[in-house]
């Protein structure tokens, strides 16, 4: 195995080593040391939970100003059924803390829109769910300037997405099986073929870069290269534009209780958004409005799992990160990773 020298992290006690034995065996001691110094902030206690955040980080802040409803009480496993009417972050605190007593968990009931810039500078990673486009762009640009990792995600009915920005220079390691080259003295047809040694791996150090959310959402589709790429572009990318514009205009997501009215608004927004960027409206058929209402638990499980996985990969600096969008279509049961930006 080719090893690499990692920057020395914080000391891990015997108690922590016992608590995180599984994680240490999974991604190594150096990666766990990095987790031991991480302060992470998921902003909203919706169905889109990131349970992995509670497993290994040093400190975590849950920020949510909304109150517990009957729907959120049923969908959020951190919230007791008796907590209706209470603040969601406060109601989630006890069970979140019980997931790992070694993690310092805080509950903050303020509105994220009212938080000053300095608030976000105290974190290593910020996870935004169910936020408006303007808010996500603002926080992402702020965090990018201070080398803070940003993750965004949400679920709309059968559809969900995840976006991450790990900065201009994200270093990580990728472990691959070692390929044994054939020797010149061997005979037979198999002698010329390279073989994989299952007992030995090579650890490779790699670097990749990310763009901001503003750049990823601001692609110019009028150029020839962009037009040629349209056929390969996930339709969910344009659907996200429509749904983010709906939230900007209405201050909420599409509501099943106003299904007919909201469906008509979505079609109008689709026409406006796609027309403004020079994309034909037929790219996003009208039937999409039938499948983007509510937060469906199975879709939340998939998207939340991917989002949590990417947080773990980014902090541990192991394995290639998703760069930079992940889109999931619950109707097809499949997801796709694609990069948008300069």
Could you read off the pLDDT of 96-143 as tens digits, one per residue? 888 778 788 888 999 999 999 999 998 888 989 889 999 999 999 999
Mean pLDDT of 170-184: 79
CB 78 within 8 A of CB 42: no
Q: Which residue has the higher pLDDT, 256 or 47?
A: 256
Lowest mean pLDDT among 111-120, 173-182, 270-279, 304-313: 173-182
Q: How far apart are CA 201 and CA 297, in angstroms?
A: 38
> Which pLDDT does position 169 carry in this prediction?
94
Q: How far apart are CA 95 and CA 196, in angstroms?
A: 45
> Which pLDDT does position 4 carry in this prediction?
21
Lowest mean pLDDT among 158-162, 172-176, 224-228: 224-228
CB 292 within 8 A of CB 254: yes
Lowest mean pLDDT among 139-148, 188-197, 256-265, 294-303: 188-197
CB atoms within 10 A of CB 178: 14
Lowest mean pLDDT among 17-21, 188-192, 201-205: 17-21
Chain-centroid distance, C-alpha 331: 20
CB 28 within 8 A of CB 5: no
Map out the domains of the chain with their CATH numbers: 16-169+295-338 (3.40.50.720), 171-207 (no CATH), 219-290 (no CATH)
Sheet with 104-108, side-by-side order of all strands: 104-108, 59-63, 39-42, 125-129, 149-156, 159-165, 325-329, 334-338
Please state whether the peptide bond connecting residue 324 to the residue before it is cis, i.e. omega within 30 degrees of 0: yes
Band (8; pLDDT cuts 50, 70, 90): very low
Dihedral (CA of 277, 168, 178, 307) sign = negative
Q: Which residue has the higher pLDDT, 54 or 4?
A: 54
Q: Which residues neighbour 67 within 8 Å (Cβ) at sequence distance 6 or greater?
A: 85, 86, 87, 88
Q: Please state the pTM of the whole predicted model.
A: 0.81
Q: How far apart are CA 167 and CA 84, in angstroms?
A: 39
Mean pLDDT of 49-69: 73
Q: Residue 69: is it exposed, middle or buried by C-beta count within 10 angstroms (0-12/13-18/19+)? A: middle
> Which pLDDT does position 153 carry in this prediction?
93
Band (79; pLDDT cuts 50, 70, 90): confident
Q: Flag whether pLDDT at 160 surpasses 50.
A: yes
> Which pLDDT does position 301 carry in this prediction?
87
């Amino acid at each position: 195995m080719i090893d690499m020298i990692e920057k020395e992290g914080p000391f891990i006690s015997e108690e922590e080593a016992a608590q995180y034995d599984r994680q240490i065996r999974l991604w190594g001691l150096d990666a766990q040391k990095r987790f031991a110094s991480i302060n992470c902030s998921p902003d909203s206690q919706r169905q889109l939970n990131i349970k992995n955040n509670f497993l290994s980080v040093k400190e975590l802040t849950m920020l949510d100003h909304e109150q517990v409803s009957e729907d959120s009480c049923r969908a959020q496993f951190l919230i007791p059924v008796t907590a209706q009417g209470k603040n969601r972050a406060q109601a989630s605190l006890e069970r979140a803390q019980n997931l790992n007593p070694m993690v310092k968990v805080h509950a903050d009931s303020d509105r994220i829109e009212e938080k000053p810039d300095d608030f976000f500078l105290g974190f290593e990673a910020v996870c935004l769910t169910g936020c408006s486009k303007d808010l996500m762009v603002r926080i992402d640009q702020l965090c990018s300037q201070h080398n803070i990792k940003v993750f965004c995600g949400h679920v709309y009915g059968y559809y969900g997405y995840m976006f991450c920005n790990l900065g201009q220079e994200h270093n990580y390691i990728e472990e691959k099986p070692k390929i044994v080259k054939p020797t010149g003295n061997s005979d037979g047809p198999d002698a010329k073929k390279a073989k994989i040694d299952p007992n030995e791996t090579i650890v490779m150090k790699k670097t990749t870069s990310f763009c901001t959310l503003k750049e990823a959402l601001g692609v110019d589709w009028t150029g020839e290269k962009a037009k040629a790429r349209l056929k390969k572009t996930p339709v969910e990318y344009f659907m996200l534009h429509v749904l983010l514009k709906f939230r900007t205009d209405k201050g909420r997501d599409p509501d099943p209780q106003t299904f007919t009215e909201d469906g008509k608004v979505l079609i109008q927004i689709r026409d406006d958004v796609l027309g403004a960027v020079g994309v034909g409206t037929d790219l996003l058929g009208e039937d999409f409005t039938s499948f983007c209402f509510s937060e469906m638990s199975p879709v939340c499980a998939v998207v939340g799992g991917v989002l949590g996985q990417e947080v773990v990969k980014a902090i541990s600096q192991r394995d290639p990160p998703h760069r930079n969008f992940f889109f999931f279509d619950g109707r097809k049961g499949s997801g796709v990773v694609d990069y948008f930006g300069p």
